[in-house]
Amino acid sequence: MIRFALAAALLVLAPASAAMSDDPLEARVERLLAEMTLAEKLGQLTVESNAPSGFEDALRSGAVGNVINFKDADETRRVEAFTAQTRLRIPMLRGLDVLQGYRTQFVVPLGQAASFDPDLNRRAAEAIAREAVAQGVNWTFAPMVDVSRDPRWGRVAEGAGEDPHLGSLMAAARVRGYRAGGLVVTAKHFVGYGAPEAGLDYAPADMSESTLRDLHLPPFRAAVAAGAESIMPAFNALNGIPATVNRRLLDGVLRREWGFAGFLVSDWGAIDQLGNHGIDPDLGAMARNALAAGVDVDMASTTFRTRLPAEIAAGRVPMAAVDAAVRRVLTVKLGARLDRRTVPSPEDAEAAMLTPATRALAVEMARRSTVLLKNDGGFVPLDGVRRMLLVGGMADSPDDHVGPHAALWRRSDVVTVRRAIEARAAVSGVAVEYRAGCAPDCTSEAGFAEAVAAADRADVVLAVLGEPGDMIGEAASRADPNLPGRQAALLERLVGTGKPVILVVMSGRPLILPTAAERVPAILAAWYPGTFGAIGLAEILFGDVAPSGRLPMTWPRHAGQIPIAHNRLRSGRPYEATEKFTSKYIDMETKPHFPFGHGLSTTTFAYAEPAVDRTEVATDGTVSVSVMVTNTGPHGGREIVQAYVRDVQASRVRPERSFKGMAAVDLAPGETRRVAIRLDVRALGFHDETGAYRVEPGRFRVFVGPSSEADLAVEFTTTGPAYEGPAPVPD
Ligand code: BGC
């Protein structure tokens, strides 16, 4: 207590540091640099978490200049107080994985992407950042912008799915939001981490230069263009080189090609894991190679601060390389005015948590990101229901409502699906009986009989099943991402009662649904709804809001289909249902269960008269594709109209179709509107094996409709010389 009081006093009394002056940023950085000892410099290139001993001394001396995992105002104040005791009083970066939420947990990022609404994602990121900043966190290791078409990889929950265009829009939106909320942003994991072999976390990825540049790099470029101050190289190796030492990508692509001026921070312990990759097992070499490749900050392996002094003394690492890295870190710190920020009091911090506006935004996110996958017979919204049976351990389990790295979430804050449904049902006079059936992991069938018996008394069964929260995120690859435990058997038993079953799937990835799901009339993907998202789900079920969420990732039918995505490359023998010698499986349906972009409304929409505003366009021009959309159903609703492009005449194989744009339209019953999507033709090109980008003259087909399986199409031709220049960053 005394120590805390002393530290707090120092915090207030701290005189202006060398960093604090009104000189131009560059001059302040240079002045600081000139004053720093080697140990202080390496401290700036280090981020560490609480260590059993010596940690406070390291903070006081400046040997550790940045911290990770100090979560709340008490903790951030405690570590910040040491800054005042350092010689130069350089502010610390206090980092934390602030992903889908801080105290208020939003829907997981993959679910947020299902809103197909970048601006909503921006606002969510800003609200999330404000909570974190109020507690003294000033740096987030987010957004994760890895593209992935492999639901076996547990980290898909943290990203925006399989598509580089949607991924770029979300990356930019999230970067802007976090920054507006006051966080320094690290986009991760550069690059190819989302394509590990066999979906196995940390496993190497191997891909062509074209695939790398067409699919995986664009969201990083969008994050950089949106102002991300920092990038984190991935844990894994790409084409044989661990990202941490991949000079061609870090220094070459990021810095030289894209002009990225921020700093690179290694992933946790990634530098001293270089030996495990079989690169050079000497710790000094690991530090030297990472720095040489372009890594500026060592997270949690201590190699920079312990090994670089000897490397420098031996002449193997030039001092200029260290200085350049320090310069980048200081420029971000002072540029973000971390030296001018006060560390909040715990009381002020608490007042900024769970505000009504943040809570409302979290509910809005759930309304907009819940995906109605199937609605045969129109069971959603519930109509004429008097008695509902709610089944599923996850429905009543707060732990299974939040995504990975849930920062300061509290169990007691969470409005569970059960609570939200019971509250909303009461308003409509619907009686809800709850029977778990089994625990979230559903390893025992002991409760099945009771749940099944209760179905007799109900008009409708709402089965909330999915993947418990500890089965997602990092180090949570699954060979078979299905409904775990005995959940498929439970669903089978419920369907067997003959009562209509509405299945709500809670997960952070596309799940492979059991055959019983074929006999379920309605299915919704609710992702992990977070602290308040279940309220939005209940509103959709009871018809207060029409769902409009769309899948940002394809849902396969079987693990054997993975990797699967709407934008896979074309074949010389494309799939034909009735032709044997075409690209298909002989033991099952080849198409996915639910395609990218899919999502129904509680009303219906009809599409007609697709058109383009011109049939010939320059390779660097724009073309507008439009279509008449009519609300043909009984309710008002929002339709997300989508455009997919196929290059029909190209010098290399292009995807079957690639998502290139969307437009949301709200239509009343019977209303018709022409909806237009503008396409930047410069974005319709590809990279060749040398990495050069171009849009060739030739024919393009645009599919426009409600999902990646849209069948209405129009064509246009690009004319004139090929566009050869950088691919545009979508905005
Ligand atoms: C993860 C990163 C994360 C870091 C710090 C690592 O294990 O791969 O995404 O930012 O830990 O928590």
pLDDT tens figures, 43-82 = 999 999 998 889 999 999 999 999 999 999 999 999 999 9
Nearest to 185 by CA among 110, 236, 243, 122: 122
Averaged pLDDT for residues 512-537: 98
Atom of ligand 1 nearest to the CA of 189: 9
Q: How high is the pLDDT of residue 51?
A: 85
- CB-CB neighbours of 591 under 10 Å: 17
Averaged pLDDT for residues 181-200: 98
* Mutational test site, ligand 1, from 69, 474, 477, max ligand atoms within 8 Å of CB: 474
Q: How far is the CA of 533 from the centre of ligand 1 (A)?
A: 25
Nearest to 14 by CA among 76, 89, 65: 89
- Give 178-190 pLDDT, tens digit per residue: 999 999 999 999 9
CB 713 within 8 A of CB 666: no
Quote the CA–CA distance of 276 and 345 in Å, as a whole number: 43
- Give 588-613 pLDDT, tens digit per residue: 999 999 999 999 999 999 999 999 99
CB 101 within 8 A of CB 529: no
Query: How many angstroms separate the Cα of 602 from the Cα of each of 375, 550, 554, 705?
Result: 8, 13, 21, 17
Check pLDDT > 80 for residue 2. Answer: no
- Give 119-146 pLDDT, tens digit per residue: 999 999 999 999 999 999 999 999 999 9
For residue 563, cis peptide bond before it (omega within 30 degrees of 0): yes
For residue 189, cis peptide bond before it (omega within 30 degrees of 0): yes
Atom of ligand 1 nearest to the CA of 186: 10
Quote the CA–CA distance of 222 and 351 in Å, as a whole number: 34
Record the tokens describing residue 423, joined without a space. Answer: 């509250």
- Kindly report the backbone phi and psi dihedral angles of residue 421, in degrees, each rounded to the nearest multiple of 5, phi listed first: -70, -45
- Give 246-290 pLDDT, tens digit per residue: 999 999 999 999 999 999 999 999 999 999 999 999 999 999 999
Q: Which long-range contacts (CB under 8 A, 24 or more apart) does 448-452 make?
A: 448/486, 448/489, 448/490, 448/493, 451/389, 451/391, 451/490, 451/493, 451/494, 452/493, 452/494, 452/496, 452/497
Please state whether beta strands 522-525 and 371-375 pair in parallel, antiparallel, or not at all (unpaired): antiparallel
Q: Whose CA is nearest to atom 11 of ligand 1?
A: 268
Quote the CA–CA distance of 270 and 273 in Å, as a whole number: 5
- Kindly report the backbone phi and psi dihedral angles of residue 449, in degrees, each rounded to the nearest multiple of 5, phi listed first: -60, -40
Nearest to 324 by CA among 110, 41, 1: 41
Amino acid identity at 476: A
Q: What is the torsional sign of CA 597, 600, 601, 603?
A: positive
Nearest to 632 by CA among 607, 604, 608, 609: 604
Can you give the three-state secondary structure of 348-405, one letter per residue?
HHHHCCCCHHHHHHHHHHHHHHCEEEEEHHHCCCCCCCCEEEEECHHHHCHHHCCCCC
Amino acid identity at 648: V
Residues 6+ apart with CB under 8 A from 391: 434, 435, 436, 437, 451, 461, 462, 463, 464, 490, 494
Q: How high is the pLDDT of residue 15?
A: 37
- Is 251 an active-site residue? no
CB 660 within 8 A of CB 684: yes
**What's the whole-number average pLDDT of the chain?**
96
* Mutational test site, ligand 1, from 49, 69, 97, max ligand atoms within 8 Å of CB: 97
Q: How high is the pLDDT of residue 562?
A: 98
Count helices and strands (H / E) in the chain: 20, 27
- Give 637-653 pLDDT, tens digit per residue: 999 999 999 999 999 99
Residues 6+ apart with CB under 8 A from 532: 104, 359, 362, 363, 366, 415
Looking at the chain, the whole-number percentage of residues with pLDDT higher than 70 is 97
Residues 6+ apart with CB under 8 A from 403: 99, 100, 101, 105, 108, 109, 157, 158, 469, 472, 473, 508, 528, 530
Residue in this structure with the two tokens 């925006």, named with its chain if needed: 160
Q: Whose CA is nearest to atom 12 of ligand 1?
A: 97
C-beta 422 within 6 A of ligand 1:
no
Quote the CA–CA distance of 577 and 586 in Å, as a whole number: 11
Record the tokens describing residue 639, joined without a space. Answer: 């339709």
CB 684 within 8 A of CB 625: no
Quote the CA–CA distance of 698 and 393 in Å, as a whole number: 55
Q: Is 703 helix (H, G, I), strand (E, B) or coil?
A: strand
Residue 429's Cβ-count burial label (10 Å; 0-12, 13-18, 19+) is exposed
CB 236 within 8 A of CB 243: yes
C-beta 716 within 6 A of ligand 1:
no
Check pLDDT > 90 for residue 1. Answer: no
Record the tokens describing residue 217, joined without a space. Answer: 């790099």
Averaged pLDDT for residues 459-473: 98
Averaged pLDDT for residues 97-109: 98
Half-sphere exposure of 221 (CA within 13 A, CB side): 20
Q: How far is the CA of 268 from the centre of ligand 1 (A)?
A: 6
Q: How high is the pLDDT of residue 17?
A: 59
Q: How far is the CA of 475 from the centre of ligand 1 (A)?
A: 11
Q: State CA 49 to chain mean position distance.
A: 24
* Mutational test site, ligand 1, from 68, 99, 139, 141, max ligand atoms within 8 Å of CB: 141
Q: DSSP label at 17?
A: -
- Which member of 267, 272, 396, 620 is catalytic? 267
Q: How high is the pLDDT of residue 18?
A: 59
- Give 365-413 pLDDT, tens digit per residue: 999 999 999 999 999 999 999 999 999 999 999 999 999 999 999 999 9
Q: How far is the CA of 596 from the centre of ligand 1 (A)?
A: 28
Q: How far is the CA of 301 from the centre of ligand 1 (A)?
A: 13
Check pLDDT > 50 for residue 3. Answer: no
User: What one-character-per-residue DSSP string does 481-492 give?
Assistant: -BS-TTHHHHHH
C-beta 474 within 6 A of ligand 1:
yes
- Give 5-35 pLDDT, tens digit per residue: 334 433 433 434 556 778 999 999 999 999 9
Q: How far is the CA of 166 from the centre of ligand 1 (A)?
A: 23
Residues in the chain: 731
Q: Whose CA is nearest to atom 2 of ligand 1?
A: 267
Q: How far is the CA of 267 from the centre of ligand 1 (A)?
A: 6
Beta bridge partner(s), residue 314: none
C-beta 146 within 6 A of ligand 1:
no
Record the tokens describing residue 235, joined without a space. Answer: 């844990």
Q: Is 646 helix (H, G, I), strand (E, B) or coil?
A: strand
Residue in this structure with the two tokens 């396969």, named with its chain if needed: 556
Q: Whose CA is nearest to atom 6 of ligand 1?
A: 268
Q: Name the CA radius of gyration of the chain, rounded.
A: 26
Record the tokens describing residue 382, joined without a space. Answer: 């519930």
Quote the CA–CA distance of 97 and 90 in Å, as a whole number: 22
Quote the CA–CA distance of 111 and 350 in Å, as a whole number: 27
